[in-house]
Amino acid sequence: MTVGRLKAAAAALACTVMLGTSGAAAARPAAESASVSIDLEHPGPTIEPAVYGQFSEHLGNGIYPGIWVGPDSPIPNTNGYRNDVVAALKHIHVPVLRWPGGCFADQYDWRDGIGPRAKRPVRVNASWGGVEETNAFGTHEFMDFAELIGADAYISGNMGSMEPRAMAQWVEYMTSPSHSSLAEERRANGRDKPWHLKYLGFGNETWGCGGEMTAEVSAMTHRRFQTFVSAPSQNGPMVRVASGASGDDYAFTDTMMRLAADKMDAISLHYYTLRGGWDKKGGALGFDDAGWAKQIERARRMDEIITGHSTVMDKYDPKKRVGLFVDEWGNWFDSDPKEDLGVLYQQNSLLDAVTAATTLNIFHRHSDRVRLGAIAQMINVLQAMILTDGAKMVLTPTYHVFDMYQPFMGATPYPVTIQSPTFKAGDTTLPMVDATAARGKDGQLWLALVNADPERAAQVKLGAEGSVKGSVLTADEIDAHNSFDHPDTVAPRPFAQRAGKNGLILNLPSKSVVVVEVDR
């Protein structure tokens, strides 16, 4: 039976996954089998494109010179934005960009970042290394940049150290079509038309760097700000994002929802993947199979954490009006020792690709609640899409996963049941194979598969005729990464397979991510 017929019959597509040996893996452990079934009868809620969003903070080299080099820089740029970075971001269609923090957001006065750049005040970035912040990249630079790359703007407003009036005036400055003094000031600073502000965050990590508030104080502060901050109707609906919990702090979400659910459209969740806790994060490179597996295990916890917060939210919001925005997530390793303290620069390896794909698969499964994600962070910071060094730029394995997963933006997911063999490394045992499936906006059925086993290949047998084509991301070493000298060590390669007499079999290399379109 072809996949096309399966679609027509809206039947379940059953896939069998069997492990096999490849030439290179001949001496490796014996094959086992598993099965995956895709339930085409029960499409889920759309995977919001915003789930593929990104986060960029005034931290380390994220903004300067990751995005902004200034119009006079010898680095090729357009109006101060690096051309290489703009082209790379346009290619992956970044749906939404969150700025200016992070912790930086709650120390940021928007007035510092408007007007002639030469006259802007220089501040100390107290959140990140006490470096001088020139404010060269401010509201105009950010909003224009978001427009340039085609992303919706997500402003993270200061609720920790400023009053609601400041936030209200910032929103008016950006969005008002009127002739108010603030709108005229925006015009005088070079922008006639109001920008579109799609998302506004009220504070960041209010339980910590955003003001050390209890959940009760955070909820009531959020409510207070709602009284004073709004966008004009011409802006269209502005999604109000409450600052939410970290990790598995379900009590925080409970209190926020109980006291303020009616005053928010979404609540945030931050979850960073740390191999051994904050004091023993481990390195971005040089880990063994046990470290590899532990990192993936921690990334897989995202599923349990989202389920926990979603369950709490259901108590107050059973119709799921309020979205859960995972607006900071990713691997946090020990900083590269060559870098100064506070810049949070880390390399990005095949392990980051596998955890990114695993996390995106989890978001697909929670499309009923998770309507925005923002990986931390876009350039040169933590689990970055892009690394730069002077005029050089390199795309990371994480970037390639976001590129490969583009068909899932706006797609309709199907439930997938996976029965997979496990692998063990150190004290960690995990399933080898993870998979999600969705019908893209292009009408095609797409599969995303991860083989997390660092040693063994997997043969995935689809119980269907036809063929698949797409791409595979893998490398020889578990910590393979792209450097400025070797930028394509980890890069997608074409992947195509056609049904034989045993049906359609996908050969997944060890430690790989595969995204394919099923051709019917």
Q: Which is nearer to ligand AHR, 20 or 102 (CB)?
A: 102
Q: Which is nearer to ligand AHR, 125 or 512 (CB)?
A: 125
Which residue of the chain is nearest ligand AHR when measured via CB? Answer: 102
What letters, b where the CB count within 10 A reaches 16 and e where it falls short, cover 452-466?
A: bbbebbbbbbbbbbb
Query: Which position among 48, 133, 205, 297 bears the catalytic label?
Result: 205
In the complex, minimum distance from the CB of residue 205 to ligand AHR, in angstroms, rounded to a whole number: 5
Q: Which is nearer to ligand AHR, 48 or 205 (CB)?
A: 205
User: Mapping DSSP to helix (H, G, I), strand (E, B) and coil, where does residue 204 land?
Assistant: coil
Contact 452, 460 (CB under 8 A): no
| Site residues (vs ligand AHR, CB under 6 A) | 57, 101-103, 204-205, 328, 376-377, 382
DSSP 162: S
In the complex, minimum distance from the CB of residue 125 to ligand AHR, in angstroms, rounded to a whole number: 11
In the complex, minimum distance from the CB of residue 332 to ligand AHR, in angstroms, rounded to a whole number: 8
> Which secondary-structure segment (H or E) carries 429?
strand 428-431
In the complex, minimum distance from the CB of residue 57 to ligand AHR, in angstroms, rounded to a whole number: 5
Integer CA distances (angstroms), 340 to 124, 128, 335, 336, 424, in order: 16, 11, 9, 8, 36
Q: Output the CA angle 74-54-202, nearest 5 degrees.
A: 115
Contact 57, 381 (CB under 8 A): yes
Q: What CA–CA distance (Å, rounded) separates 152 from 146?
A: 6
In the complex, minimum distance from the CB of residue 343 to ligand AHR, in angstroms, rounded to a whole number: 11
Contact 85, 386 (CB under 8 A): yes
DSSP 122: P
Contact 320, 411 (CB under 8 A): no
Q: What CA–CA distance (Å, rounded) separates 437 from 364?
A: 9
Q: Which is nearer to ligand AHR, 272 or 316 (CB)?
A: 272
Amino acid letter for position 240: R
In the complex, minimum distance from the CB of residue 201 to ligand AHR, in angstroms, rounded to a whole number: 11
In the complex, minimum distance from the CB of residue 126 to ligand AHR, in angstroms, rounded to a whole number: 12
What letters, b where the CB count within 10 A reaches 16 and e where it falls short, cover 13-51?
A: bbbbbbbbeeeebeeeeeebebbbbbbbeeebebbbbbb
Q: Which is nearer to ligand AHR, 100 or 454 (CB)?
A: 100
In terms of phi and psi (left: phi > 0; alpha: psi -120 to 50; beta: otherwise), the region of 27 is alpha
Integer CA distances (angstroms), 498 to 34, 461, 471, 495, in order: 20, 11, 14, 11
Q: Which is nearer to ligand AHR, 205 or 317 (CB)?
A: 205
Query: Which position among 297, 328, 339, 517 bears the catalytic label?
Result: 328
172 is catalytic: no
In the complex, minimum distance from the CB of residue 216 to ligand AHR, in angstroms, rounded to a whole number: 21
Q: Output the CA angle 128-134-136, nearest 5 degrees.
A: 115
Q: Which is nearer to ligand AHR, 20 or 157 (CB)?
A: 157
Q: Which is nearer to ligand AHR, 156 or 255 (CB)?
A: 156
205 is catalytic: yes
Q: What CA–CA distance (Å, rounded) separates 231 from 355?
A: 37
DSSP 11: P
Residues labelled as active-site residues = 205, 328
